[in-house]
Amino acid sequence: MKKTIITTLLGGMLLLPQFGCEKFLDVDPAYTQDADNFFNTPVDYERALTGAYDLMQGSFMSVWIGEIASDNTIAGGESVTDTKGLHEIDDMSHVAVNQELRNVFRWNYAGITRVNFIMENKNKIDFQGKDKILAQASFLRAFYYFELVKFFGDVPLVVDKRLGADQVTTLDRTPKAEVYKQIESDLTYAISKLDWTAAEKGRITKGASTALLGKVYLYQDKFDEAATTFQTLIDQNLYTLIPNYNQLFTVANEGHKETVFDVEYTGAEGGSYGCLICLEGNAGPGFQGIRQYNGPVYGDGNSYNLPTKNLYDAFASGDLRRDATILDIDAFIAKQAKPADIKYAKGAGGHTGYYNNKYIKRQTEIGLPDNDLTSPVNYKVIRYADVLLMAAEAYARKASPDENKAKTYLNLVRKRVNLSDVTSSGQTLVSDIWNERRLELACEGHRFFDLVRTKQAASSITGFVAGKHELFPIPQVEIDLAGGNWKQNPNY
């Protein structure tokens, strides 16, 4: 009897899953989309693509590092422990434990993963316009990988698939050359599918793809390819230098003819410090704003990324770009109606008396609270002046230089700000182009990478150790999380 009962009980328990009870446990999340049954309509592809664009909004971090690491700016901020990673980079004392470098690493891979999610499913359905979506996605992947290569050199190359957690430990760092090959191939695909212009503001175009490809060539010292690529773009006559240099970065003037490729931001969504990558606004202008400022024109901010005297003095006295680039705060206040009423604070993270006047919080360009984080000002990744200067450099440095073309493009940039033509040649011309790049593009996030690329970093940056600081260290925690097998960059 007992045996029968026990057998029945055990039997019953064993069979529990079979009595239709399995269905009882099949609970679907209500009204929610699942990653594995997506990509059923063209709209699904569109939306996944929008998700892949999102990570470009983390560009403010690359811009900070690109300037702070160079001779252009110092880290600034409230104290030296306020975003300590930037202060260490400023000092060239940065090590593999650095939250800001880790953000660059992780955010760009998040963007790549979102692109790969689309690519993994690219053959699921066919529809008209799919190639344009895939082309934009390819561009984005190239952009994210290019950021990674600029910062870290060799990085693991993952293409067209998502990885499982245990697959990461089998990855190694892919040689830079191979990553560049992928970047070039993605950009070439984008160029082949996209139109020169896009109806929608903020969309990647063939123009943007071409400009980025030229830049990628330039970073590999492939001057011939770079020159050809830039020439193709210039010949399209799509872009011009806008007359007023002061109007380049204003919200009101957004989308002007000099914009080749920008990252879009808005002030229409609030934000908090808890998640900077979640912001829809640009964190740059607020962080770079004047600390505790209460006067006209500008808003108050966090005094990050402050231009140095070295940069201020680099401008010739008649160069109108100096004041457009650098705000001399004391001089500005002195010129106001009631200077005594205007106050601001010096951050203990450093004070130079100068602020970044290109990307700064202005009272007419304020987003929702916390408005230090929600600036609507777009970040200009590539503008036409940059294209012209890159083209000039490519022509001046290619195996058989075309110095006339180089000078033409260089002088176009100078003419806009009423400067006289450069007439030099040879290495002097190359140096003149480099110097023009610094002045024209100061505080836009290019300087450190230009110095490294042109091998001027050791002579320009205090504390820069050749053979070490050309690359940033791979964040130690990322090495650990990937199984500890990656070799760190030299001398870290």
Partner 1 sequence: MRLLLKCVVVCCTLYGTAVQGQTNVTDTSGKMEDVVIIGYGKATKKEFTGANSSLKGQSLEKLNIPRMDQALQGQIPGVVVSTNSGSPGGTSSIRIRGLSTFGDNDPLILVDGVVYDSEGLNALNPNDIASINVLKDATAGIYGVRAANGVIIVETKKGQLKSAPRWEISGFQGLQQTAKKLDLLNAREYAVLKNEMFAAGGEDMPFKNTSLGEGTNWQDSIFKLAPVYQYNVSVSGGNDKTTYSLGGSVYDQQGIVGLQKANFNRLNGRANFDTRLSDKWKYSSVFLYTNEKRSALPENGIGSVLYNTINAFPTDPIKGSNGKYTYLEEVADIINPFAQMENTHNWAWVNKFVGKQELTAEINDNLTFTNRFNYNYALVDNKAFSPLVWFGPGKAQNTALNANLDPTMVEIAPDVKIERGASVSEGRATYGDLNFESFLNHQKEFAGGNKLKTTAGISVFQRRGNYLGGTAYNIPNNSLDFADISANLAAGGYLNNVYSWEFKERLLSAFVRSEYNVKNRYFLSGILRRDGSSKFGPNARWGWFPTLSGAWMISDEDFYNIPWMSTAKLRMSYGVSGNDQIENFAYRGLLNGEGDYIFNDIIVKGVAIGRASNPDLKWESTSQFNVGADMSIGRHITTTANYFVKRTKDLLFQPEVSGVLGTAGPGSYPPIINAGDVSNSGVELDIQYQGAMKKRWNVAMGLNFAYLKNVVLSTPKGVDFIPGAGFGVGGSVASRFQKDYPIGFFMGYETDGVFQSQAEIDNSPVKQAGAKPGDFKFKDINGDGVINFSDDSDKKMLGSPLPKFTAGYNLSLSHKGWDISMQLYAAVGQKIVRNYERQQPYANQLSYTINRWTGPNSTNEHPRATTSLTRNTVFSDYYVEDGSFMRLRNLQVGYTLKGQRLEKLKMTGLRVYLSANNVYTLTKYMGYDPDLGSVGGALGAGIDNGFYPQARTVMLGFSIRF
Half-sphere CA count of 111, side-chain side, radius 13 A: 27
Q: Does 153 bind partner 1 (CB under 8 A)?
A: no
Whole-angstrom Cα distance, residue 78 to residue 7? 73
Q: List the one residue from 26, 123, 337, 338 that touches partner 1 (CB under 8 A).
A: 26
Q: Does 297 bind partner 1 (CB under 8 A)?
A: no
Q: Does 320 bind partner 1 (CB under 8 A)?
A: no
Cβ closest to partner 1, residue 29 vs residue 467? 29
Q: Which of residues 327-346 bind partner 1 (CB under 8 A)?
A: 343, 345-346
Largest CA distance in the chain: 109
Q: List the one residue from 38, 196, 312, 434 that touches partner 1 (CB under 8 A).
A: 38
Q: Does 20 bind partner 1 (CB under 8 A)?
A: yes
Q: Which of residues 201-240 bind partner 1 (CB under 8 A)?
A: 201-203
Q: Which of residues 72-91 bind partner 1 (CB under 8 A)?
A: 78-85, 87-88, 91
Asked if 354 and 304 count as a contact pair (C-beta separation under 8 A), the reply is no
Cβ closest to partner 1, residue 55 vs residue 226? 55
In the complex, minimum distance from the CB of residue 107 to partner 1, in angstroms, rounded to a whole number: 6
Asked if 386 and 259 count as a contact pair (C-beta separation under 8 A), the reply is no
Considering only 112-120, 126-134, 215-223, 306-314, which stretch makes contact with partner 1 by CB under 8 A?
Answer: 112-120
In the complex, minimum distance from the CB of residue 163 to partner 1, in angstroms, rounded to a whole number: 6
Cβ closest to partner 1, residue 316 vs residue 345? 345
Cβ closest to partner 1, residue 33 vs residue 435? 33
Q: List the one residue from 33, 185, 192, 428 that touches partner 1 (CB under 8 A).
A: 33
3-state secondary structure of 278: helix
Half-sphere CA count of 243, side-chain side, radius 13 A: 0
Whole-angstrom Cα distance, residue 490 to residue 492? 6
The alpha carbon of residue 107 and the mean position of all alpha carbons in its chain are separated, in whole angstroms, by: 10
Cβ closest to partner 1, residue 247 vs residue 423? 247
In the complex, minimum distance from the CB of residue 35 to partner 1, in angstroms, rounded to a whole number: 4
Residue 406 corresponds to which amino acid? A
Asked if 358 and 349 count as a contact pair (C-beta separation under 8 A), the reply is no
Q: What ranges in 153-222 are assigned the alpha helix state H? A: 176-193, 206-219
Q: Does 35 bind partner 1 (CB under 8 A)?
A: yes
Q: List the one residue from 66, 76, 207, 267 that touches partner 1 (CB under 8 A).
A: 267
Cβ closest to partner 1, residue 201 vs residue 257? 201
Bridge-based pairing state of the strands 300-301 and 304-307: unpaired
Nearest Cα neighbor of 281 from 409, 367, 210 is 367
Q: Does 7 bind partner 1 (CB under 8 A)?
A: no
Cβ closest to partner 1, residue 107 vs residue 354? 107
Q: Does 186 bind partner 1 (CB under 8 A)?
A: no
Considering only 102-110, 219-227, 305-313, 380-388, which stretch makes contact with partner 1 by CB under 8 A?
Answer: 102-110
Torsion from C-alpha of 179, 181, 183, 186, nearest 10 degrees: -130
Q: Does 454 bind partner 1 (CB under 8 A)?
A: no
Whole-angstrom Cα distance, residue 119 to residue 114? 9
Q: List the one residue from 42, 92, 97, 122 that touches partner 1 (CB under 8 A).
A: 97
Whole-angstrom Cα distance, residue 88 to residue 92? 6
Asked if 147 and 98 count as a contact pair (C-beta separation under 8 A), the reply is no
Bridge-based pairing state of the strands 290-291 and 300-301: parallel
Q: List residues bridging with 355 in a β-sheet.
A: 327
In the complex, minimum distance from the CB of residue 88 to partner 1, in angstroms, rounded to a whole number: 7
In the complex, minimum distance from the CB of residue 328 to partner 1, in angstroms, rounded to a whole number: 19
Cβ closest to partner 1, residue 269 vs residue 421? 269
Nearest Cα neighbor of 106 from 382, 488, 483, 482 is 482
Asked if 42 and 130 count as a contact pair (C-beta separation under 8 A), the reply is yes
Q: Does 161 bind partner 1 (CB under 8 A)?
A: no
Cβ closest to partner 1, residue 362 vs residue 454? 362
Cβ closest to partner 1, residue 32 vs residue 462? 32
